[in-house]
A and B are shown apart, each in its own frame.
Chain A
Amino acid sequence: MSIPSIDISSPVRAQRSGLRVNGLWVLLGLLAIMALLPLVASPYAIILMLPFMGYGIALLGFNLLFGTTGLLSFGHALFLGTGAYTAAALTFKFGVLSFELLLITAALISGLISLAVGALCVRYTRIFFGMLTLAFGMLFHSFLYKFYNITGGDQGMRVLRPLLLGMEWRGGKTAFLTGPFYYYALALFALLSLAMWRITASPFGLHLRAIRENAGKAAYVGVQIFRMRLAAFVISAVYGGIGGVILAVTTGLADPELAYWTHSGNLVFMAVLGGSGTFAGPAIGALAFVLLQDFVMSITQYWRFVMGAVLVLLVVFMPQGLSGAAEFLVNRRKGGR
């Protein structure tokens, strides 16, 4: 059967051409370099990489919600807080020291909380979704802050050194953090990157992208909008909880500031800094943020001012973030246009 041909010319024949960097390889390459870091870097620099890994994992999840599904959460620190306080409660109050158990419990509790919070939030989009998530984040922060008996209030809760793979590691805190814990977190980061890569490259991930692009149409081609948004919310929360455990073990403290709304803002900052349009972008943003914050804090006490200025410049001059800018530069060099 012949199909009548349609000759409708369009001005741009944009195929997906030029540089399509595989984001997973970029991220795994970065992690491979980090695996060599303890051979050359100072303990200070190595310990600085731990918050990067915590945030990096949280941002992989955050970006499933933001970059992939198109929902911008301003309350994601809630799940960092959940992970951190789970680690604190288990190690300090219940004497559970297995790091694996901490991770699994934090993932489960974050997942459960996000299921309840998300069931309400994902019924809304755009600013309404953002405000609702912000509100839940603030509620959780007040809970941590005011319920002194349970949470330690503004003092926070201690997080004891966990057992990795059931083993107790000798040596001081620095030796633990720069040695076994560093490599454990790195391996976990790599594993969770792989898992997230599979999720974004699956039909499931495609449905999330369809929702981001045009939810109204997506429903008519069989996309279950509510269920999919909720699934993305829960997965992102699980990643947030795991990131929170790493942050809390690194500092040895679960602090209410972890769940404060400015901390949620930092996550948004990191995603924008790295570029939410790419797979590795947000994690790269986390690295850049941690390094930048450390650098600026070491030279001025007005570091918040500097960070704010950076955010302004970023939005104006590099709306696609660092990864977008890098892709643009490489393409220009390659393609000559």
Chain B
Amino acid sequence: MQPDRIASPVGTPLFETISVSKAYGAYMALSNVSFSVSDGEFVSIVGPNGAGKTTLVNVVTGLLRPTVGEVRFLGRDIAGVGPVELARRGMSRAFQLVNIFPALTVRETLAVAVASRLRRISNPFRSLKRDDALQADVERVADVLGLRARLDSISSTLSQGEKKLVDIASAFALNPTVILLDEPTSGVSTGDKHSIMEVLVVAARAAGVRAIVQVEHDMDLVERYSHRIVALQEGSLLADMPPDAFFADPAMISAVVGARPQTRRRAP
């Protein structure tokens, strides 16, 4: 069964990579990878360790410039534009490792992103506390991700799962068109993984996010939430297909998950 789309599709790709290759010296981390993401899609990038998943995300988010090829986001070339410009154009990113501002409260963490989006930085004497529009937006994002009760908690005191959510929430606070998540649930217990993914998908709909791209190892989550799977192997595109087709092919699964036998649980 296909999960519902997170937004209604329009057909044009939101972003695409066109024959992207990335070389580190003689080593080809990515070779000739082309894929696109359209409106409303939840796309999972999968592959064994060293397949080039993180390199692909880094290229797609403009952190790395591809050696060859083009990365287009909303019709414009974004190769190597850097994180700040990328955020401005509507693509935001959450990280594999928990990536928070340890001493800031959740409210302050979200306010960092909202302040950049609402361009509140040029006047250093402007009050943060009395900026009602900014504070309301912080609370809206917190509500969307179920973090309202934690707003005044210091980030470093949160549980691992909550820290992940705060990281994801600050990506949402930019009101992005596309969110890229590098293993959003790594280091989180199995039970919490599903809760985080549920929150994520509901939040994406509520916040008007038009597509989610994630790198994920957990095949259970991949199967349950994705509309499409992009599989990489040794830097090349192995497959780009819907989950039903992907999981029906044992060769595909063993290529991605590795040789070890894996019993998959079907989603209830």
Residues of A within 8 A of B (CB): 1, 3-16, 195, 198-199, 201-207, 209-210, 213-214, 216-225, 228, 231, 235
Contacts and interface: CB of A to CB of B under 8 A. Distances in A.
Contacts of A220: 83, 86-87, 92-93, 95, 171
Nearest to A4: B198
The 4 closest A-B pairs by CB, nearest first: A222-B116, A10-B159, A213-B101, A203-B115
B120 to A, nearest CB: 4
A28 B85 CA distance: 41
B124 interface: yes
A3 B124 contact: no
Most chain B CB within 10 A, of A8, A199, A207, A219, is at A8
A12 to B, nearest CB: 5
Contact of B112 (A7, A195, A218): A218
Given A12-B157, A205-B124, A206-B111, A6 B146 contact: yes
A202 B116 contact: no
Contact of A6 (B103, B121, B195): B195
Contacts of A218: 101, 112
B159 A217 contact: no
A140 B232 CA distance: 56
B83 A206 contact: no
A197 to B, nearest CB: 10
Interface of B: 82-84, 86-88, 92-93, 95, 99-105, 108-109, 111-113, 115-117, 120-121, 123-129, 131, 134, 143-146, 152-154, 157-162, 165, 167, 170-171, 173-174, 192, 195-196, 198-199, 202-203, 205-206
Contacts, number: 152
Contact of A203 (B86, B131, B165): B131
A213 B84 contact: no
Contacts of A223: 84, 112, 116
A203 B95 contact: no
A68 to B, nearest CB: 11
Nearest to A197: B125
A207 B111 CA distance: 9
B101 A210 contact: yes
B254 to A, nearest CB: 33
A203 B171 CA distance: 18
B192 A202 contact: no
Contacts of A213: 100-104
Contacts of B111: 203, 206
A231 B124 contact: yes
A199 B125 contact: yes
17 contacts: A1-B202, A4-B146, A9-B159, A201-B127, A203-B120, A203-B126, A204-B123, A204-B126, A206-B108, A206-B128, A207-B112, A209-B104, A214-B99, A219-B84, A221-B112, A221-B173, A224-B84
